[in-house]
Amino acid sequence: MTLPGYILRKTLTAIPLLAGVTFISFLLMVHFGPDKTYELLGKNPTTEQIAEVRQQLGYDRPFLVRYTDYVRELATMDLGHSDSSGESVASLIARTLPVTAALVLPGFVLGNVLGVLLGMFAAWRRGTWPDRLVMGASVVGMSISFLVIIILLQVLLCTPWGFNWFPSRGWEVSGPVSYLYYVTVPTLALVLVTLGYNTRFYRAVMVEELGRDHVRTARAFGARPAEILFRHALKNSLVPVLTRFMFSIPLVIISGSLLLETYFGIPGIGKLTFDAITSGDQPVLKAVVGLTAVLFVLAQVLIDIFYRMVDPRVAGA
């Protein structure tokens, strides 16, 4: 099958998947989700006022009508307005998504690149003390709470008790230098918290790959370690590496940044989503849930395409 045909087939199979995901998420998070009515009401509401607010929010309409509207809104990207702030949901997402992407991208990339390198290093030195050191450090990194790491880094780098080099909160980015000023500490936190998990995963992948026949053959031919690791081992283990990398993206963007955004006062989509969940801001919630589902499906399609590119056996099949 040609690549365009393959993409078309994957996209078509994604449609029922999207329908199922949106239906279940609508049922759980919107239909049975938090009720915004009582947060909008005044201090001494009457039954009549409650009914009015419910009507304005559309809570009194039948389930199927609400779900159909939801699907239509997603399809047309007419996502309505936030019940809390009144701001257009599309503009909220357009404003917050790039901030989150800029916030997590360096940490996400660094965490994965360093994880691959350390994983390769530990796998190459398997069973020796450097391997044990890397794995021990990984377990320590995995064991410390994200929150503790954030607070420790803030105290160390953002207060007079430490070096006081960076701000403890804010996001007034106007160029590369101010970007580094605001992103450095969150990036360090993200790298520290993800590095342990990534290193252990990539080490396991590399250990398996380094034990294969073609690697032994390369060694027998006297290939240099770097050549063996990068050319023969890493390239052949790209399928699990890519899978982990791609599926992490929606999670990192939507939920992974929540603590960073909260503790560093960064106006990203993680905080927006959290606030929407806790306050029952359904238009925002519906949009984020729907877009996350789309992102996951997109990641799935992209992974399938990457598989074909990195592993000819998939294309052949």
Q: Which residue lies nearer to other proteins by CB, 50 or 137?
A: 50
Q: Is 81 helix (H, G, I), strand (E, B) or coil?
A: strand
**Beta strand segments in 31-163, E:** none
- DSSP lists the bridge partners of residue 233 as none
Residue 46 binds other proteins (CB under 8 A): yes
Work out whether 76 is an interface residue with other proteins (CB under 8 A): no
Cβ distance to other proteins smaller for residue 34 or 130: 34
**CA torsion 228→229→232→236, rounded to 10°?**
170
What's the token pair of residue 56? Answer: 């304005």
How far CA 227 is from CA of 26, 215, 231, 279, in Å, comes to 50, 10, 5, 54
Q: Does 84 bind other proteins (CB under 8 A)?
A: yes
The answer to whether residue 159 forms part of the interface with other proteins (CB under 8 A) is yes
Q: Does 175 bind other proteins (CB under 8 A)?
A: yes
Please report whether residue 255 would count as binding other proteins according to CB under 8 A: no
Select the residue interacting with other proteins from 271, 287, 289, 297 (CB under 8 A): 271
Question: How far is it, in rounded angstroms, from Cα 234 to Cα 302?
Answer: 20
Tell me if 88 contacts other proteins by CB under 8 A. Answer: yes
Which lies closer to other proteins via its Cβ, residue 40 or residue 123?
Answer: 40
Binder of other proteins out of 31, 34, 142, 306 (CB under 8 A): 34
Distances (CA, A) of 276 to 39, 52, 262, 290: 12, 22, 14, 14
Pick the binder of other proteins from 14, 29, 30, 53 (CB under 8 A).
53
Nearest distance, CB of residue 124 and other proteins, angstroms: 22
* The only residue of 42, 127, 222, 316 in contact with other proteins, by rule CB under 8 A: 42
Instruction: Among 141, 280, 293, 297, indicate the residue that binds other proteins (CB under 8 A).
Output: 280
Tell me: does residue 55 bind other proteins (CB under 8 A): yes
CA atoms within 13 A on the CB side of 279: 15
Considering only residues 229 through 248, tell me which ones interact with other proteins, judged by CB under 8 A.
none
Q: Give 166 or 201: the residue with its C-beta nearer to other proteins.
A: 166
Q: 258: which 2 tokens?
A: 């929540």
With b for 16 or more beta-carbon neighbours within 10 A and e for fewer, the 293-310 pattern comes to bbebbbbbbebbebbbeb
Binding residue for other proteins (CB under 8 A) from 236, 243, 255, 279? 279
56-82 burial: b if 16+ Cβ within 10 Å, else e: ebeeeeeeeebbeebeebbeeeebbbb
Binder of other proteins out of 6, 10, 18, 49 (CB under 8 A): 49
For residue 83, give both structure tokens.
Answer: 């019940």
Residues that bind other proteins (CB under 8 A): 34-47, 49-50, 52-53, 55-56, 81, 84-88, 95-96, 151, 154-155, 158-161, 164-172, 174-178, 180-181, 184, 261-267, 271-272, 275, 278-280
